[in-house]
């Protein structure tokens, strides 16, 4: 089963980045061509019809690009501030301790385009929610978001569902 191969390539690292956290490391998955291909195919199988993929910085770029290539679709990138060279639009959002911002090229999303959001991990959903808001601000429609894994119990899926976005993850782990 493809999810077994994918799960076998996700490394659990205790106490990273601080004591008490069990970090799920996706780099072994990316390093294994067969597992990466399986993850891309499994994401593709879950995708509903769409026009364009939006990959969220940074690992969302990797999975989004692979999925875009696999499906013959275009990719736009959602970045942290100051990283895009052309005119941008942005969206500020709250973090646990402070705020952050995501940006997108102002002309990246054609009006009315159906945009599939892609990232590696769904946790609290704050970054994904901000990306949805940003794509919608640009004129796109977001109805689905795909993730390699979800950290359950942190509310990310419910947060996206409240926006009318269907989240889908290949794997789930307790937070």
What's the CATH number where 62 sits? 3.40.50.2020
Q: Has 96 been annotated as catalytic?
A: yes
Identify whether the C-beta of residue 120 lies closer than 8 Å to the C-beta of residue 148: yes
**Overall pTM surpassing 0.85 (yes/no):** yes
Domain count, the chain: 1
pLDDT digits (tens, 9 = 90+) for 33-49: 999 999 999 999 999 99
Structural domain includes residue 169: yes
Domain carrying residue 106: 48-174
Structural domain includes residue 162: yes
Q: Has 9 been annotated as catalytic?
A: no
In the structure, what pLDDT confidence band is assigned to residue 173 with cuts at 50, 70 and 90? Answer: very high
Structural domain includes residue 86: yes
Catalytic residue among 37, 59, 101, 136: 59
For residue 18, with 0-12 CB atoms within 10 Å meaning exposed, 13-18 middle and 19 or more buried, which class applies? exposed
Please give the pLDDT value at position 94: 87
Structural domain includes residue 22: no
Task: Look at phi and psi of residue 15 and say left if phi exceeds 0, alpha if psi is from -120 to 50, else beta.
Answer: left
Question: What is the distance between the alpha carbons of residues 84 and 121, in angstroms, rounded to a whole number?
Answer: 23
Average pLDDT, the chain: 96
Structural domain includes residue 98: yes
Question: What is the distance between the alpha carbons of residues 49 and 115, in angstroms, rounded to a whole number?
Answer: 9
Please give the pLDDT value at position 1: 67
Structural domain includes residue 37: no
Question: What is the distance between the alpha carbons of residues 70 and 136, in angstroms, rounded to a whole number?
Answer: 25
In the structure, what pLDDT confidence band is assigned to residue 157 with cuts at 50, 70 and 90? Answer: very high
Average pLDDT over residues 54-78: 97
Question: What is the distance between the alpha carbons of residues 13 and 110, in angstroms, rounded to a whole number?
Answer: 41
Structural domain includes residue 7: no
């Amino acid at each position: 089963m493809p999810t077994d191969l994918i799960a076998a390539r996700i490394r659990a690292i205790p106490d990273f980045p601080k004591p008490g956290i069990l970090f799920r490391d996706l780099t072994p998955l990316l390093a294994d061509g067969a597992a990466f291909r399986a993850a891309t195919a499994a994401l593709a199988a879950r995708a509903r019809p769409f026009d364009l993929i939006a990959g969220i910085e940074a690992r969302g770029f990797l999975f989004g690009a692979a999925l875009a290539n696999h499906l013959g679709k275009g990719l736009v990138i959602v970045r942290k501030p100051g990283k895009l060279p052309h005119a941008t639009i942005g969206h500020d959002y709250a973090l646990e301790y402070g705020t952050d911002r995501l940006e997108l090229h102002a002309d990246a999303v054609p009006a009315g385009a159906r945009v599939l959001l892609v990232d590696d991990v769904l946790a609290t959903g704050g970054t994904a929610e901000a990306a949805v808001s940003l794509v919608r601000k640009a004129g796109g429609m977001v109805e689905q978001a795909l993730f390699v894994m979800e950290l359950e119990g942190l509310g990310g899926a419910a947060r996206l569902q409240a926006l009318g976005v269907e989240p889908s993850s290949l794997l789930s782990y307790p937070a």
